[in-house]
Homo-oligomer: A and B are copies of this chain.
């Protein structure tokens, strides 16, 4: 036991991440003390139910989170229990009592940053959340500190491991969505209810956090345009491959200028065709990667494990050591920066490219009719592929057309797709996806 005043830590939650955090606090005690300048001491672990062997001395476990957070000898609260509630209440209480907080809770940070940041500001304590985005990969700290003197233009990332596993599987095996999802579930990469992942809610929360930090503007999950991956088909992957692309669920945060020169923020999550030559195309399985483009720095990429107990615990521990150092040495980490107060650009305003896959009648004039709908809205076509189709008996039964456009506003593109759907010669619109990362 050191003679120095110790830093008391309460860990809320003892799942995959919490268990790893507790393990590292115990097993790396000497290193952590040397790095912090004082010993880190675990005062208690808050759990929903105190029961059985949880790998933690029984006297450290408690289901009274309020009491644990309020203990005088707790300096820092680590919240790794999710979901939004009761985490929000516990964190707010901790901050109001002058404790620093480290959290991995992306849904909470994407919803309640303002309230929590204000509480941290009032109490002049740290609120860190590196683990909320992309697990072990340092992203928050590089954006808030390393790029603090630069101007970020764009952040684009693969920030959800479950959907990236599913899409990588579909790409490499030709599997359809349902069977790739079943595989992911069997391997523990997808939860029993996969909605938050496959519908893009998890990625949207992370996009909101990234956009807030990158653009010094408060962005919540509700501000993020969102489409999931459930409609991506095996045929889309085949078409993508023919176009030299793969398909990834991207979280994109962008600073764009209106025609009047006003700055706006766009934050959006959707599956998109990505050229195989783009660095994000090679990010497969449960890995995450974030590409940051800044005016002076150019393009940076951060890559690593975006989820899992140990990687997430690594990010939590980094925050915990920093918060503890600040307790020992004085000073605080960066506060919330929201001075820019940029407005959110609606999705219709965003310049993007579309891939449209449709079945059409196979007769003269069809391609011309289809092309006319694009040109009417000043959408320029980059590439068209048409092939005849046959039915189960081998008889011709129309044609399939795949169109890839150049950049146009999302509004013009979606109007074009609506108009195509109304054309007599178009039988079905099979799929509409955006294309990203081509600079065209």
Contact = CB atoms under 8 A, between A and B. Distances in A.
A149 B321 contact: yes
A28 B149 CA distance: 8
Copies of this chain per assembly: 2
A413 B215 CA distance: 53
A330 B310 CA distance: 33
A34 B340 contact: yes
Contacts of A314: 147, 149-150, 294, 296-297
Interface string A325-346: 1100111101001011000000
Interface string A204-216: 0000000000001
A3 B104 CA distance: 38
Nearest to A150: B314
A301 interface: yes
A310 B331 contact: no
Nearest to A313: B296
Given A31-B151, A148-B321, A305 B316 contact: no
A149 B330 contact: no
Given A304-B299, A305-B298, A138 B142 contact: yes
A137 interface: yes
A302 interface: yes
Given A149-B28, A318-B148, A297 B330 contact: no
Sorting the interface of chain A by its residue count into under 10, 10 to 19, 20 to 34 or 35 or more gives 35 or more
A361 interface: no
A298 B318 contact: no
A339 B37 CA distance: 10
Interface string A20-49: 100010001001101100000000000000
Interface of A: 20, 24, 28, 31-32, 34-35, 130, 136-138, 141-142, 145-151, 216, 279, 282, 294-305, 310-311, 313-322, 325-326, 329-332, 334, 337, 339-340
Given A35-B337, A145-B322, A297-B315, 15 more contacts: A136-B300, A145-B145, A146-B315, A148-B317, A148-B322, A148-B325, A149-B316, A149-B318, A150-B314, A296-B311, A296-B313, A300-B303, A300-B304, A329-B331, A331-B331
Smallest CB-CB A-B distances: 4 pairs: A331-B331, A149-B317, A138-B146, A136-B297
